[in-house]
Structure formats: structure tokens, C-alpha cells
Amino acid sequence: MTLLVTRPEPQASAWADSLRQAGVAAQALPLIAITAPPKPEEVTTLWQQLAHQHASMRAQSQASTRVPMGAPMRALMFVSPAAVDGFFRLRPEGHAWPHGALATAPGPGTAQALLQAGASAGLGTEQVISPAADAEQFDSETLWPLLAPLDWQGCRVTIVSGGDASGAQGRAWLTERWREAGAEVDTVQSYQRGPGDWTPAQQTLAREALSQPDTTWLLSSSQALDFLLDHHLPHLGSAHWQPARATELRVLCTHPRIAEHAATRGIQHIQRCAPTLDSVVQARRSPA
């Protein structure tokens, strides 16, 4: 039974390689394409603010008197590895990460991406906050208990996220928690999500998958499922796909909300697992 990994590239291929090494028949078939944000200048402006804060903090540490500053940037929350990549890709040369600013992530994958991309900017391990690798879920609800004990009154927080041409799409629930704690919260879009278009080889893989009823689609995003049903599969043509066939699809969802969304889209064969390699492997060894 083939497992199709639908994350954006390069994550899809990396996950597929790791799954195959673990004995799972997996292929990468991305459902989301990542492109540059529609307003990259917003990311550049944020980097300039961070660099100014970094310089001001260094100056104050060397001065005998304190210089008044505006509300400091207390934390940046990165929603995904793609958010990290887009943000640091637009970092002006020489701009540093402020020593007093935190970088938060919903899971260890994003945290690892932060450490790798942020090292050259001075971002240290002690500044990154993320749920542990063995957490039950990797999401805002799991991250918040790690952040709630900190003092957020009068501080700034920016959520670095994706979105479409209309703008950034932040984390509404997490934004509410931060504002209740006294923080000023805004959002910046560091990348743009869209369905993209499959290559001829990917279209062939999808047609083969549809002809094999035991094929399972690994979903880490509700939006990915929408792109699959509303864009990718219809483009295969009516000879290969009709909307009524959604009930035949098998999906493995890495979050309860994705599973709930799959049910609303008419999918009946739904299995859940944690968003970790071990959990996916275990789910494939004990299929529902």
C-alpha cells in the first residue's frame, strides 16, 4: 500500500525518504506550492525593526543611562518551516536577531528550521521555544502553556505566517491568548501558499494512486485537502476523477481538525496519527 506524502517541497521528499528507510512504501506528491510573499517589503521592514532593537539594546548595555524605547519585540511566532525559510531568505545582509527576542514554533520541525536558518543572525537555542518532540500534538494549543507563564504586558509579538494574495493568515486562537496577556500582536506574511501545478510525472503518480484503492494520502493541512479535491484531481480529467469519488479516498491526518475537515468533504476512510515519523510508521503498520 502506497502512502502519498502531500507536504510542500522540500519537506515532502524528505519525509518520503525517511518513511521508506523505515519500511513504509511512500512517495512525495505535494499539494501545496510555496512562493514568495506578495509584499516582501513587509518582511524587510520587520527585519529593520529587529536590527534597530538589537542595536539599541547593545547601546543601552554600554551606556550609563537608559534610553527610552518603544514597545520591544518580545517574540516572533513562526507557523511552519516555510515561514522560517521565507523570513530568513529576506533578511538584509548584516541584520541581527535581538538578544531579548524569542522565536517560538508549534513543533520541533519548525524549531529545527529556526536554529539552522537563524544561526548566522545570532539566534541561539535558548531563545527558541517549542513543544517537545514527544508532545501529543504540534499546534498553538500545545505551544501556549510554554508561553503563558512569561510576562507579555506591553510587549510586541509578530506571527510570521503564510497566506495567499489577499494577505497573511495568522493564528487567531493564539493571537487572542497573547492579547489577553497584554501583548500587541500583528502578522507578517513571509510566503504565499497555492495549489501549484503537478508535473506530468506527478499526474501519472496521482492517476496510479486513484486506480489503487489502498493508496493513502498523508495530510498535514486542511488546505492541502481542499487543493487536492478542488484543483489537482479535477485537472486530471473526468476519465480519472469525479467529485463523487471523494468517498473512496483514504487519508491519514496528523491533527484532529484535519480529520474533521476531511469528514465534511465527504471522505469516509479517515485515520489519525500524531505529526511525527514514528507515529506515521506505526499507523501504516496498524491500518484502520
Place of cell 554600554: 62
User: Domain range for residue 139?
Assistant: 35-193
Q: What are phi and psi of 199, to 5 degrees?
A: -75, 165
Is the domain of 74 the same as that of 161? yes
Is the domain of 27 the same as that of 160? no
Give the model's pLDDT for residue 62: 57
Give the model's pLDDT for residue 68: 43
Please list, in sequence order, all residues whose beta carbon lies within 8 angstroms of the beta carbon of residue 279, skipping any fewer than 6 positions away: 254, 273
Give the model's pLDDT for residue 56: 77
The last residue of one of the domains, among 135, 164, 193, is 193
Is the domain of 53 the same as that of 186? yes
Please list, in sequence order, all residues whose beta carbon lies within 8 angstroms of the beta carbon of residue 270, skipping any fewer than 6 positions away: 251, 253, 259, 262, 263
- Residue 274 CB neighbour total at 10 angstroms: 17
Number of domains within the chain: 2
Is the domain of 177 the same as that of 77? yes
Is the domain of 219 the same as that of 260? yes
| Residue closest to 77 by CA, chosen among 140, 120, 145, 10 | 140
Give the model's pLDDT for residue 176: 96
Is the domain of 135 the same as that of 109? yes
| Residue closest to 234 by CA, chosen among 261, 260, 194, 195 | 195
Is the domain of 109 the same as that of 60? yes
What amino acid occupies position 116?
Q
Please list, in sequence order, all residues whose beta carbon lies within 8 angstroms of the beta carbon of residue 51, skipping any fewer than 6 positions away: 92, 94, 95, 96
- Residue 89 CB neighbour total at 10 angstroms: 13
Is the domain of 178 the same as that of 275? no
The C-alpha atoms of residue 140 and residue 276 are separated, in whole angstroms, by: 16
Is the domain of 144 the same as that of 61? yes
The last residue of one of the domains, among 178, 193, 208, is 193
Give the model's pLDDT for residue 72: 78
Place of cell 510573499: 37
Is the domain of 40 the same as that of 166? yes
Give the model's pLDDT for residue 287: 61
In the chain, what is the greatest distance between 2 CA atoms, to the nearest angstrom?
76
The last residue of one of the domains, among 193, 225, 248, is 193
Q: Which pTM was predicted?
A: 0.85
Cα 260 from chain centre = 19
What would the grid cell of residue 282 be?
506505526
- Residue 117 CB neighbour total at 10 angstroms: 20
Is the domain of 202 the same as that of 249? yes
pLDDT per residue of the chain (288 residues) written in tens, 0 to 9: 799 999 999 999 999 999 999 999 999 999 999 999 999 999 999 999 998 888 876 666 555 444 444 567 899 999 999 999 999 999 999 999 998 899 999 999 999 999 999 999 999 999 999 999 988 888 999 999 999 999 999 999 999 999 887 777 778 999 999 999 999 999 999 999 999 999 999 999 999 999 998 999 999 999 999 999 999 999 999 999 999 999 999 999 999 999 999 999 999 999 999 999 999 999 998 765
Q: Please report, for the domain that includes residue 8, its CATH number.
A: 3.40.50.10090
